[in-house]
Every structure is written in structure tokens, then in C-alpha cells.
Structure 1
């Protein structure tokens, strides 16, 4: 880009951020589409924010206040496995401060209160749920006049990162996941079994590996259909610590939209070498927005999830030495990426 054009874009982004930052964050819920969960919406408002409790999280928002226009751009956020919108709320509020409206669908069968479809069954229908969230915002009388539904951003973390990669043009299959787990089961055990088991260095580890291998082969070996998703309204995508070992990496060589990545160097759930680093090696033109070298898999989440069960805590809690104050810079990089790539 010519220097003048870059300066003009940077100035426009700075003005947009400054103007939108005057608005508070509003919070509301939309009714769930068929076969999906409710949609949490964060958006700009002129109302006064107050402290509200949502599960174990305390948020400072204006609940069900009147919206203001912001920058007319929508971001859809896809949560990680077993997650919700609340642990992504600080990033959502950073986006709202820049003028964006943020919609967070709760993925059916893979959320904080329902684990019945964790893994590939959920991954298959997550892109459709993202599209349903865009549809729901376009159909809502409060938001439709304020949003350009043809230039939408999409952010996803972990399993939501897989969703993000799919909507950027990637394709995956359960059989490719099984092939990865056959080759790297012991080294990437949490990817292949989730929270159902873990290796602890004891004499039982070979048994755990054998049982996991048998289950993976039974469930996924024959499912070779490449899973894809497309929504022409999505114009920019960010994938944070994405689940990626199940992808055909050739499909990510040339993303159909600008694709930003966030890496956690000490990710114990999705080991970087087989996930985000493999995406970076395959992808031409992807932008590494943040490389959090001391971060774990859940370090991108804020507020952090409290009182996790021990097995989940070992995979999601911050590693020693990670400084949560650095998240402000990570979130600012994500905001800049969407500002730059969702211009009219």
C-alpha cells in the first residue's frame, strides 16, 4: 500500500476508535435460532453502565439500553469447547469501544452447560450457527438499521478458532483428526481426548493411550467427508489458538478473506506445532496479530474462568510467568485488524 494510503487508513482508524470510545457497552440476549443456543450481544450505547453478574463473572455494562450506531460493523464471536460468551467479554468490550457490535452464539451441545456434542459433532454445525447469528442480527429491528450486514468480521478461539478457519476457506474431516491422533497421540493427547482422560506418567498411560486410540478409530476413521463452510457476508476473520490438526492444510494456503492469527507459545491443550504453527506454515498472507510466548491455551480469555476442575485448570489456567496486562495489547491488535479490514 502506498504511504499516503496507509496514513489515511491509520488516521481513519484512529478517528473511529476515538469517536466510538465515548459509548458504553450494552448487553442483551436474542432468542436462539432453531437447533442452537441464545445469542449474546454486546453493542454501543449512550446509557450509563452498571455492574451486573452473569454466572461467576462480573461485567460492567448497560443491560437492555438503547443502541447507538457505532461504526455499523458486526463481529460474530465463536467460543471454545464448553465455553460461553462471558469469558470473551473483555475482548467484546474492546471491540465495542471501537464502535463494533458483537454477537456471540452459544453453540448447541458444546457450551458451559451442555457437553453432549463436544468435538467433531459440534464442529460440523458451528459455521451454520455463526451464519444464523448474522441472520438474527439482520432480522432484529433494533440492530438492522445500524449494521452493514454485508461486511461482517468473525473471531473464534480454540474450537471457535476451527470455526474461524472454516469460514476463512479451510476444510477438515474427522478422518484427518484420527490420522493425526494415530501419529501423535501421546504428544498431543489433550487434542485427541479432550478432558475425558489425561496422561500422568504412571504405568496406566499405555492403557489410556490404547483405549483412546480404539475409541478414535471407531468414531472417526471412516468419516472422510471434508467439512466446509461459507458465508459471503464474512469479510475478515481472526482465529485465536485454533484447533487445526484436523484440517487439510492445502485448503488454508489461500484464505478467501484476510485472516489474522493469535498464538499461545505454551499452549498445553492444542500444542502449537500441530495447530497454529501448522496453519502459519501453510497459509500465504495470514497475519500473526499476537505471539503470546508465555501464554497458555486459556490465557486469551478474559475474565479468566474461575474454579475450573483440576484437569481443565491444568490446560486452561495461565502458566507461571504470564502477565495478563499484556492482553490489552493483544486485544488492541485484534481491534486494529478488524478496523483495517472491514472498511467500506
Structure 2
């Protein structure tokens, strides 16, 4: 069969991104699905009209203009889920790279598990609530005055970093087994990040379970937390998966997390193992101000070039989501 030119373009878009290099940045606020009395926030990055602009936000210099007019089009959505105690801006360079390529990126700040508020850390509501928050952000963006009409919410990808990888997998159908965390902590008690309470999660909610969003079409994981998933729990994940990890990750044991996911996912994922890279290499290259307040997330091993890694990672993310979220309605002969 011959493929029409329009079909080829459909597979390349969002790579072509209408030739528009500008990116807009827009803040969203919505009710937290775990507690409608609390607010959940997210930052949207999207293809914009006009010339490129940049904005200083917190400690970051972001290549996006505040509330710039959205470019014409109907764009796939990519969610970003940060790590424990993280920030939605920690992956701003990845978000803007995807937005320039024709995606709307929704970076959620998980209520109860971010750099300002860790009140849900180590709880059932955090494990099962994060995917609900990601899904709610799609619906909020679809009804937002600036973004409405520009989103294709039937083509959704998810990026998860560290604990966000766990959230991304649950949203794609995976079923965690929380008891596995205790087993892990008996074997690796020195892992303070995962085993502060001996691996026992606080059962603060008994009305929550794993929530999958059928709109999710692909998943990208970076240094993912994966130890709560056994082979059976991963069987429902039927979408393409891309995994990045560093072979010198001293926060999450490689073989128990990314390595285990590579072995257990029902379809072999694309796997990129970065030599010498640690856990924090997947966060955007640090500005000097962040070096000063959080040097542990900014310092890489000798010979590890974080800027070069991100250039490659961002390019591959664009290719991966362009391929896996291509319009299924594209005409073929």
C-alpha cells in the first residue's frame, strides 16, 4: 500500500509543529480529586503564536511566555508527574521541547507530595491519588479558557520521574502490590528514601484503588520507582513504554526498579541505560540558584554531561510520543 503524503505528515506532526518555535506557559488550578476543599495546580506548556519568550519562575529560567496566545491546531497531551517532594518545573526543558514539537504538556504539582507540602508522603492517598490528579488535570485543561479547543484529549502520553513513574504506570493500568515495599525494605533497610517507615504505607484512606485512564496511549519513565509491581500487576499495561535510567542511581536500586520493569512488562519496553548517571540527572540542568540551595540534585559524577543527556533525551521524547500518539485516523491507501 502506498501511504499518502497527508498520512506521512500526520505521523511526523507534532514533529513539524507548524514551524512555530514559540512556547506558552499557563497556570491551572482545579479542585484536588482527593479533597475538593484543596486546590491542585498544574503548569501547561503549549505551542504558541508569536516570537519566543522566556520567563523566570521560582529558581528556573523557562523558555516560555506567560499566557501567550495558543497556536492554531489540535494537539496531543503529555502529562508530567514529578518525583516525591518535587516540582512541576523540574522538567521544564523537556516540557518546552515537547511543546515546540506540537504537544500540550501538563506538569502537575501533586498536592501533598511536592517541594512545599509533603503531608501525604508515605500514604495510600498519595500512591493511589497521584494518578487521579493527573487525570483531573486533563479535564481541567480541556475546559480552560485559554487551552480549550486546542487539545486532543484522546491522544495522551505520560512522563513519570522517580515516584512519578509509579503514578504513570498506574494510570496506564498497572496494579501495585504495596506489601512488596515491605519486602524490599527488609532486604535494603539502608534505603532511607523508600524505607523511612520500614516500607509500611500509612493507610489514611481505604476507599481508593488503582485508577487507570483509558486515554493514555504511551508512557515514558525516567529513573522510575517500580518495585511495587510484580509481573501480574504489570499485565494490564498494553501501551508502548520508554524507560531511561542511570547505572549509578543511588536513590532507587536499578535491579529492583527500572531493571525489574524491563523484565516484567508484558511487551519489552525501549530501555536506555546511561553510564555513570545518577538519579537526579533527569531533572533539568540546574541554574546557579538551585546549586546553592540543593547541591545534591545538581552534582553529577565526573564525565556525566547533564546538558548533553537532556538534549538527547528531549529529542527522543519528541520522537517517541510523535510515533506512539500519531493520529490513528490518518488516511491510508
Pair in the same fold by TM > 0.5: yes
Q: Which residue of 1 aligns with 2:155?
A: 151
1:289–1:334 Cα contact (<8 Å) kept: no
Q: Does 1:116 align with 2:119?
A: yes
Aligned pairs (5 A) from 1:171-190: 171-186=175-190, 188-190=191-193
Equivalent-residue separation in structure 2 for 1:183 and 1:221 (angstroms): 23
Equivalent-residue separation in structure 2 for 1:82 and 1:131 (angstroms): 20
SS at match of 1:318: coil
Structure 1-normalised TM-score?
0.83
In the TM superposition, what whole-angstrom CA distance separates every residue of 1:248-282 from its partner, at most 9, and x where no partner exists? 33221452322221111111111111100001011
Instruction: Select the structure with the greater relative contact order (CA < 8 A; seq sep ≥ 6).
Output: 2
1:78–1:157 Cα contact (<8 Å) kept: yes
Q: CA deviation at 1:133?
A: 0.4
Structure 2-normalised TM-score?
0.85
Q: Which residue of 2 aligns with 1:84?
A: 87
Equivalent-residue separation in structure 2 for 1:103 and 1:221 (angstroms): 29
1:16–1:71 Cα contact (<8 Å) kept: no
> C-alpha root-mean-square deviation of aligned residues, in Å?
2.8
Q: Which residue of 2 aligns with 1:48?
A: 51
Q: Which residue of 1 aligns with 2:214?
A: 232
Task: Indicate which of 10, 22, 25 corresponds to 1:24.
Answer: 22
More strand by share: 2
SS at match of 1:273: coil
The alignment covers a number of residue pairs equal to: 317
Specify whether residues 117 and 307 from structure 1 end up closer, same or farther in structure 2 by C-alpha distance, changes over 3 A only.
farther
Q: CA deviation at 1:333?
A: 1.2
Specify whether residues 268 and 315 from structure 1 end up closer, same or farther in structure 2 by C-alpha distance, changes over 3 A only.
farther
Q: Which residue of 2 aligns with 1:38?
A: 41
Q: CA deviation at 1:161?
A: 0.7
Q: CA deviation at 1:327?
A: 1.6
Task: Indicate which of 126, 130, 146 corresponds to 1:126.
Answer: 130
Specify whether residues 308 and 71 from structure 1 end up closer, same or farther in structure 2 by C-alpha distance, changes over 3 A only.
farther
Deviates further, 47-56 or 36-45: 47-56
2:10–2:326 Cα contact (<8 Å) kept: no
SS at match of 1:47: coil
Aligned pairs (5 A) from 1:1-344: 12-14=10-12, 16-34=14-32, 35-70=38-73, 72-120=75-123, 121-186=125-190, 188-193=191-196, 213=198, 216-217=199-200, 219=201, 227-253=209-235, 255-304=237-286, 306-307=290-291, 313-314=295-296, 317-324=299-306, 325-344=308-327
Equivalent-residue separation in structure 2 for 1:245 and 1:102 (angstroms): 27
Equivalent-residue separation in structure 2 for 1:21 and 1:328 (angstroms): 19
Q: Which residue of 2 aligns with 1:204?
A: none
Q: CA deviation at 1:97?
A: 1.4
SS at match of 2:54: strand
Equivalent-residue separation in structure 1 for 2:168 and 2:102 (angstroms): 22
Q: Which residue of 1 aligns with 2:330?
A: none
- Structure 1: any 5+ residue segments left out of the alignment? 194-211
Equivalent-residue separation in structure 2 for 1:83 and 1:297 (angstroms): 13
2:90–2:283 Cα contact (<8 Å) kept: yes
SS at match of 1:327: helix
Specify whether residues 172 and 99 from structure 1 end up closer, same or farther in structure 2 by C-alpha distance, changes over 3 A only.
same
Deviates further, 246-255 or 9-18: 9-18
Q: Which residue of 1 aligns with 2:35?
A: none
In the TM superposition, what whole-angstrom CA distance separates every residue of 1:296-325 from its partner, at most 9, and x where no partner exists? 11101113372476xx75466422221121
More helix by share: 1
